[in-house]
A and B are shown apart, each in its own frame.
Chain A
Amino acid sequence: MNIRLRKLLARFLLFSVLSGLGLMSMNLVYAGASEVLSGSRAASLDSCVIPDTDDMRRNHMELLFHKRDQTMRQGIRTYGDNEVSLNGCIACHAAKDDQGQYIPVNEEGQFCQTCHVRVAAKLDCFDCHRTTPETN
């Protein structure tokens, strides 16, 4: 009984330490990564629509949530002088393939998908939203 209990405790501790490390490493991932792809419009710009790129990287989902409710429920389709929207993100961050065709941002190795796979966060937007800029 005692040994069993100790084993259980040890496992629990190991689990806690490992998951703690995992959580901390997510921070490293956020801070270190740059997934801006060459060939996308974003690559030619100094910063994102919010100058603090780290902030954007960490909190883009909050911004998108806020904007989504504003756009959909209140019909506010601009932000400041800019047309800031998920479409804007895609227009700027989508890369092109060899034939000059846009690659969907949720495809493997593309802007959105790379980080989301790394942190194992489901990318729900593109079940409904278009994944490439509209060209016509």
Chain B
Amino acid sequence: MSQVKVEFHQADLSKRKLLKAASLGGAALAVAPGIKLFQAAHAKPDGQPVTDKNRWGLLIDVNRCADGCNDCVDACQTENGWGSGSTDEQNSRDDQKAQWIRKVSVKDPQTRREFNMPVMCQHCENPPCQDVCPTGASFQREDGISMVDRHICIGCRYCMMACPYKARSFVHEALSDQRAHQPRGKGCVESCTLCAHRVDKGKIPACVESCQHGAMLFGDLNDPQSPISTKLASIPSRQLREDLKLNTGVRYTGI
């Protein structure tokens, strides 16, 4: 059996040799003139592991996030097969249903200023979920994306206790209507994957793609030339619960 494994590895290596790094087309997306959301050159070549050269992140402009708009949440549901994107979870109560991303309405009680923002997994550099997970099912990819390895998740929910953002959901019943690229199942914990399956193919997360108000920007925080980095360098931005010093990959501006 180990022989088979070795063959797989060798095949990978030879494949790597054959690969030309810049095989992906340079189809960069743009929402507004001059602002590229994502540069395809940043996408890793097929067949190669993700590395810590990249650190994927989001910048969310709460001043652009429109009241009553739920596009990012809807897009995530469709893309990842939860909520309205699936026929499952009919037995679960509302407070038991999974929510990978949600619109939060915020109000300052003193100044009465109000704004909206989407909240999802913040993809911390030092994720508390990963610290507390007994089996190592809560893990972080080299490129900074936090995920749950459902194969070794035992459903203890300690990560949900530890997450300051309530980013995680527990699946309370058996499912059957999953998306092919996004496994989900009873008894495991799940959360936003920053659409890793799309990012690996050079696409941007579904929520960012769906936002019509230009409130979400996706990109590589490690590349100082990337649009998200240049933007972050020039405008003030905040982390949620920055007192915890988790160094989140998702940043907010306008808070």
By a beta-carbon cutoff of 8 Å, the part of chain A in contact with chain B is 55, 58-59, 62-63, 66-68, 70, 72-80, 87, 90, 104, 127-131, 133-134
B residues 183-230 touching A (CB-CB < 8 Å): 183-188, 196-197, 199-201
B1 near A62: Cβ-Cβ < 8 Å? yes
Q: How far is the CB of B188 from chain A (nearest CB, A)?
A: 7
- Are A75 and B49 in contact, CB atoms less than 8 angstroms apart? yes
Return B221 CB to nearest CB of chain A, in Å.
17
Binary interface encoding of chain B residues 127-141 relative to chain A, with 1 for a CB under 8 A from any of its CBs, else 0: 000000000000101
Chain A positions within 8 Å of B186 at CB level: 127
Q: Which B positions have Cβ atoms within 8 angstroms of A?
A: 1, 4-5, 8, 11-12, 15, 44, 46-50, 139, 141-143, 147, 149-151, 174-181, 183-188, 196-197, 199-201
The complex places the Cα of A77 from the Cα of B48 at a distance, in Å, of: 9
B11's closest neighbor in chain A, by CB?
A80
Q: Is the CB of B183 within 8 A of A128?
A: yes
10 extra interface residue pairs, beta carbon distance < 8 Å, beyond A76-B200, A130-B180: A62-B4, A66-B5, A70-B49, A73-B141, A75-B50, A77-B46, A128-B175, A128-B185, A130-B177, A130-B179
B4 touches which one: A59, A73, A130 (CB < 8 A)? Answer: A59
Given A72-B147, A75-B49, A127 contacting B1 (CB threshold 8 A): no
Q: Which residues of B contact A131 (CB under 8 A)?
A: 176
18 pairs, CB–CB < 8 Å, chain A vs chain B = A59-B1, A62-B5, A66-B5, A72-B147, A76-B12, A76-B46, A77-B46, A77-B201, A78-B46, A79-B12, A80-B11, A90-B180, A104-B176, A127-B186, A128-B183, A130-B177, A130-B178, A130-B180
A63-B11 in contact (CB<8A): no
Judge whether A78 and B180 touch: CB under 8 Å.
Answer: no
Pairwise interchain contact A128-B5, C-beta atoms closer than 8 A: no
Return chain B residues, CB-CB under 8 Å to A128: 150, 175, 178, 183-185, 188
A73 and B180 within 8 A (CB): no
By the criterion CB–CB under 8 Å, are A134 and B179 in contact? Answer: yes
